[in-house]
Amino acid sequence: MPMTSRTRIFINSISSLAAGLALASATLAHAEDATPAVTTPGAVVAQAVSPVGELASVPAPALGARAWLSLDMNSGQIISGHNLDERIEPASLTKIMAAYLVFEALDAKRLTLEQTVHVSENAWRTEGSRMFIKPNTQVSVHDLLQGLIVQSGNDATVALAEAIAGSESAFVALMNEEAGRQGLNDTVFTNSPGLPHPDHLTTVRDLATLASNLISRFPQYLHYYSQKEYSYNNIKQNNRNRLLWADPTVDGLKTGHTKSAGYCLIATAQREGRRVLTVLVGSASDSARAENSLKLLNWSFQNFDTVKLYDNERAMVTARVWEGDAETVGLGSETPVWVTVPRGKADQVRPVAQYGQPLIAPLKKGAQVGEVSLSLDGHVLRRESLHVLDDVAQAGFFGRIYDKIRLLFE
């Protein structure tokens, strides 16, 4: 069959296009090679994330504790730690989870602060630290929260657990479900206040995750943790967190103690807009846990900076798009990206982006296509997922054919 003139013109156009593609693709490859921060997934072996404390010129203080951790909440980075994943008894640090579920019930309107709760014989008889509520009385949720948080009352904790779930055992099931949702894979709860039990275990890493989630999700209730004292039934009890008196920047969070667990403290402070959280367990005394926690907080604030590298609308990488109505698209994070570094080294952080190539249109804004690693001195400090920042529609028929052929030479 003889060629039509239209077919002949189209074939000649394709031939001319193909003839110039080698030079065009070489030029394109050179331009892309000029961006050393981009690699293709699988081309490099992913490095483990390093605690930034390993890069500090001033080492972490010597602490008398079985396990400990320091976390920068702005960046989410672990600054330093010891025995992060060793399973330990949380004692009354358990009440962080109990309070989390109470706050969740308040937010969902299943409880109100003014609502009164019946105090059962079971709650009244709970051993250990007490709020001194009386059986068969009605106590407000607001009062019980102060009893749980400020006085670390086991009786108040069980009363709230029964109000939410009907029984303490049902509440403990909710605690473990929530632990699963938060990824606390080394945590098992057997009771709500934190009484000793061989299976009631967690890690300082899990406790840091739980505490930071509580602070981030329920800032409206953080004031309970900075309250220095509370009186109920004509009995005044001080908050056991000594740091509330020692440092005005400390605004929480929770103490714990049993003979087997030792003295424990989750502490948090905010200075100049930056929040640091510390977890310390297994200290020898009340004074030792406060002193060691304050040392760790001060070291974390004084020797590190936390800076915002990227806003969520700012592209970390400009990527080539194929078969689209735009040749490039910005890739970045859906949330602002903060990084914690040794003091004075923020300008030395290097982002390395890894994403699937080629990126072929259509692309939808928000689609995850890879990740970016933030490195300092060859150490990966954190990773963030990379998302498409703008929609890219498909090009027309000839534009797509043009790019398909160009890709043959890539």
To the query of whether residue 92 is one of the catalytic residues in this protein, the response is yes
By C-alpha distance, which of 384, 407, 386, 96 is closest to 268? 96
Cβ contact 115:144 at 8 Å: no
Q: Is the pLDDT of residue 48 over 70?
A: yes
Q: Across residues 149-165, what is the average pLDDT? A: 98
Query: How much is the pLDDT for 38?
Result: 52
Query: How much is the pLDDT for 46?
Result: 53
Of the CA atoms within 13 Å of residue 363, those in its CB half-sphere come to 30
Global pTM reads 0.86
Find where tokens 């709500």 sit: 192
Q: What is the C-alpha separation between 189 and 203, in angstroms, rounded?
A: 12
Q: Is the pLDDT of residue 6 over 80?
A: no
Distances, alpha carbon 10 to alpha carbons 115, 121, 333, in Å: 79, 89, 43
Query: How much is the pLDDT for 140?
Result: 98
Q: What is the C-alpha separation between 241 and 266, in angstroms, rounded?
A: 9
What percentage of the chain reaches a pLDDT higher than 70? 89
Cβ contact 264:255 at 8 Å: yes
Q: Is the pLDDT of residue 44 over 50?
A: no
Q: Which of 75, 80, 95, 283 is catalytic?
A: 95
Q: Tell me the two tokens of residue 161.
A: 């657990």
Q: Across residues 295-310, what is the average pLDDT? A: 96
Q: Across residues 24-48, what is the average pLDDT? A: 40
Q: Is the pLDDT of residue 72 over 50?
A: yes
pLDDT in tens, 307-325: 999 988 789 889 999 999 9
Q: What is the C-alpha separation between 377 and 370, in angstroms, rounded?
A: 23
To the query of whether residue 216 is one of the catalytic residues in this protein, the response is no
Segments in 76-118 forming alpha helices (H)? 95-107
Query: How much is the pLDDT for 35?
Result: 33
Q: What is the C-alpha separation between 324 and 399, in angstroms, rounded?
A: 8
Contacts (Cβ under 8 Å, ≥6 apart) of 115: 140, 141
Identify the burial level of 15 via C-beta atoms within 10 angstroms of its C-beta, where 0-12 means exposed, 13-18 middle and 19 or more buried. Answer: exposed
Q: What is the C-alpha separation between 257 and 246, in angstroms, rounded?
A: 20
Segments in 108-150 forming alpha helices (H)? 121-124, 141-149
Q: What is the C-alpha separation between 149 and 30, in angstroms, rounded?
A: 61
- CATH superfamily, domain 60-302, is DD-peptidase/beta-lactamase superfamily (3.40.710.10)
User: What b/e sequence results for 313-343 when a residue is b if at least 16 CB atoms lie within 10 Å of its CB, and e otherwise?
Assistant: eebbbebbbbbbeeeebbbbbeeebbbbbbe
Q: Going edge to edge, which strands form the sheet with 359-360?
A: 38-39, 350-355, 368-376, 379-388, 328-332, 317-322, 359-360
pLDDT-derived band at 8, boundaries 50, 70, 90: very low
Collapsing DSSP to helix, strand or coil, 124 comes out as: helix
Find where tokens 């009186």 sit: 231
- CATH superfamily, domain 21-50+308-408, is D-Ala-D-Ala carboxypeptidase, C-terminal domain (2.60.410.10)
The pLDDT mean for the chain works out to 89
- Max Cα separation, the chain? 106
Find where tokens 């003295």 sit: 263
What count of other Cβ atoms lies within 10 Å of the Cβ of residue 311? 11
Query: How much is the pLDDT for 329?
Result: 95
What percentage of the chain reaches a pLDDT higher than 90? 80
Q: What is the C-alpha separation between 231 and 277, in angstroms, rounded?
A: 28
Q: Is the pLDDT of residue 42 over 50?
A: no
What letter would DSSP give residue 51? P
pLDDT in tens, 104-140: 999 999 999 999 999 999 999 999 999 999 999 999 9
> Domain locations in the chain?
21-50+308-408, 60-302
Collapsing DSSP to helix, strand or coil, 371 comes out as: strand
Collapsing DSSP to helix, strand or coil, 316 comes out as: coil
Q: Going edge to edge, which strands form the sheet with 67-72?
A: 77-82, 67-72, 274-283, 262-271, 250-258
To the query of whether residue 95 is one of the catalytic residues in this protein, the response is yes
pLDDT-derived band at 18, boundaries 50, 70, 90: very low
pLDDT-derived band at 165, boundaries 50, 70, 90: very high
pLDDT in tens, 73-86: 999 999 999 999 99
Q: In this predicted structure, which of 47-51, 172-176, 276-280 has the lowest mean pLDDT?
A: 47-51
By C-alpha distance, which of 334, 295, 333, 298 is closest to 316? 333
Q: Tell me the two tokens of residue 109.
A: 């309107």
Backbone dihedral angles phi then psi of residue 56, each to the nearest 5 degrees = -80, 145
Q: Is the pLDDT of residue 405 over 90?
A: no
pLDDT in tens, 255-283: 999 999 999 999 999 999 999 999 999 99
pLDDT-derived band at 7, boundaries 50, 70, 90: very low
Question: Pairing state of beta strands 317-322 and 359-360?
Answer: parallel
Q: Which of 152, 283, 293, 373 is catalytic?
A: 152
Q: Which of 70, 92, 212, 283 is catalytic?
A: 92
